[in-house]
Amino acid sequence: METLSPSLRRVLDWMVTVTSVVICALVLPIRFAGIELLGTGPNWFLIWVVAWSLKRSPLQGALAGLCLGFIQDGMSMAQPTHALGLALAGVLTARLQKQRYIQEDFISVAMIVFAMAVIVETTMAIQFSIQYLLDAVPKSYPLLTRTWLYHQQIALSSAILSSLWAPAIYYPLNRWWRLSQATE
């Protein structure tokens, strides 16, 4: 790293970051044993956003959340948007008083991912509810109760899986970013 010129180093840094996002996107549709719980998989993008935002400003966290949320919109359904929840997760992760309360280890990161997964799924559930209410579908009431019943199941399974898999994304990315910061 030290032998490279600063501009080349920056390009390399961005390439690694973009590649990691691409890998997360390509892993999203895959399911295999250990990755699936009640039909859902880990939220790889959320793990990435948390890993990114841990040592960055709330604005950087929000922008990363927006970008990855838009990509996920394209890959599943665009409405309601995933960008809102991920941006919120980015801001909240960046604003956590980490030096004071939380150490930088796998357990803490897993716990942050767990909490953020619940926040992301709750944001989705709120958006679903608002849509049902605004559309004024006659069947909206049972749909609303079903959404929130479903939300409990999704939030729990997504939070458990994402926090368990968090080190897989967090560890290599954090190492790389620490290395690149140290050389700068």
Q: How far apart are CA 10 and CA 14, in angstroms?
A: 6
Site string for another protein, 98-137 (x = CB under 8 A): -----------------------x--x---x--xx--x-x
Task: Output 59 or 107, the one with its CB closest to another protein.
Answer: 59
Q: Considering only residues 14, 106, 148, 171, which one is a binding residue for another protein as defined by CB under 8 A?
A: 14
Q: Considering only residues 15, 75, 107, 111, which one is a binding residue for another protein as defined by CB under 8 A?
A: 75
Contacts by 30-37 with C-beta closer than 8 Å and gap 24+?
35/161, 35/165, 36/161, 37/157, 37/160, 37/161
For the bound state, the minimum distance from the C-beta of residue 4 to another protein, rounded and expressed in Å, comes to 17
Compute the chain's Rg from CA coordinates: 18
Total Cβ atoms within 10 A of residue 4: 12
3-class secondary structure, 153? helix
Contacts of another protein in 138-157 (CB under 8 A)? 139-140, 143, 146-147, 150, 153-154, 157
- Does residue 73 touch another protein according to CB under 8 A? yes
Q: Considering only residues 49, 51, 54, 71, which one is a binding residue for another protein as defined by CB under 8 A?
A: 71
Task: Output 108 or 140, the one with its CB closest to another protein.
Answer: 140
For the bound state, the minimum distance from the C-beta of residue 109 to another protein, rounded and expressed in Å, comes to 20
Residue 65 Cα distances to 72, 84, 94, 136, 175, angstroms: 10, 8, 11, 30, 21
- Does residue 84 touch another protein according to CB under 8 A? no
Q: How far apart are CA 147 and CA 167, in angstroms?
A: 30
Q: How far apart are CA 155 and CA 82, in angstroms?
A: 14
Which residues of the shown chain bind another protein in the complex (CB under 8 A)?
A: 14, 22, 25-26, 28-31, 38-41, 43, 63, 66-80, 82, 121, 124, 128, 131-132, 135, 137, 139-140, 143, 146-147, 150, 153-154, 157-158
